């Protein structure tokens, strides 16, 4: 993959264009800042979307994909991701309002599909300081055990 970065690394990074033919069909625009985008400009979740690595996919539609977390923290632990690459929730632009709403409704669908619609938790870790380790926006959907509050 060939990353084309604008010159200089000062200030916020708005767009990173990945000039990679196999990647272009999924619209490979990353939005974020240098520190976090450089951590994993081509994330593991992008590879799951493009079926370059396997995942236990439980739901898919035009805009998003849900699959089981590789290191589950509850009997049901899914990750729901937009197919559009948005590094962090904080980087979602206003025009993605409908997409963000779509993700919550899709979380509902996935919970119903797995029979946990009456008790599930949705978590978004935004930024490394909040525990985000993969810089492709994702919703954790956790269920199947009692949930404590506040979370750690
Ligand atoms: P974060 O820490 O960014 O909020 O959540 C990232 C999640 O992705 C973690 O819960 C981690 O277990 C999961 N994860 C990391 N790599 C993979 C992978 O290759 N496959 C799957 N299914 N989950 C992954």
Indicate whether this model's pTM tops 0.95: no
In this structure, the residue with its CA closest to atom 19 of ligand 1 is 44
Output the CA 70–ligand 1 centroid distance in Å: 6
Pairing status of strand 57-60 against strand 29-30: unpaired
Ligand 1 atom, smallest distance to 53 CA? 19
Residues at CB less than 6 angstroms from ligand 1: 44, 55, 67-71, 79, 125, 131-134
Per-residue pLDDT tens over the stretch 15-66: 444 444 344 344 444 445 444 444 445 799 999 999 999 999 999 999 999 9
Which residue in this structure is represented by tokens 């079926």?
Answer: 51
Per-residue pLDDT tens over the stretch 129-141: 999 999 999 999 9
pLDDT at residue 122, as a whole number? 98
CA 116 to chain centre: 21
In this structure, the residue with its CA closest to atom 12 of ligand 1 is 71
CA torsion 45-46-48-53 (nearest 10°) is -100
């Amino acid at each position: 993959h060939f990353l084309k970065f604008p010159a200089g690394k000062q200030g916020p990074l708005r767009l990173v264009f990945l000039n990679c033919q196999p990647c272009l069909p999924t619209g490979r625009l990353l939005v974020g800042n240098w520190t976090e985008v450089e951590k994993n400009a081509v994330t593991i979740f992008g590879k799951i979307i493009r079926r370059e690595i396997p995942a236990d996919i439980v739901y898919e539609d035009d805009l998003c994909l849900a699959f089981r977390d590789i290191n589950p923290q509850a009997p049901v632990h899914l990750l729901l991701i937009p197919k559009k690459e948005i590094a962090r929730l904080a980087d979602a632009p206003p025009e993605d309002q409908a997409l963000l709403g779509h993700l919550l409704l899709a979380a509902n669908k996935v919970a119903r599909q797995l029979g946990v619609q009456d008790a599930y938790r949705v978590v978004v870790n935004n930024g490394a300081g909040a525990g985000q380790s993969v810089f492709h926006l994702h919703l954790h959907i956790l269920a199947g055990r009692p949930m404590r509050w506040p979370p750690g």
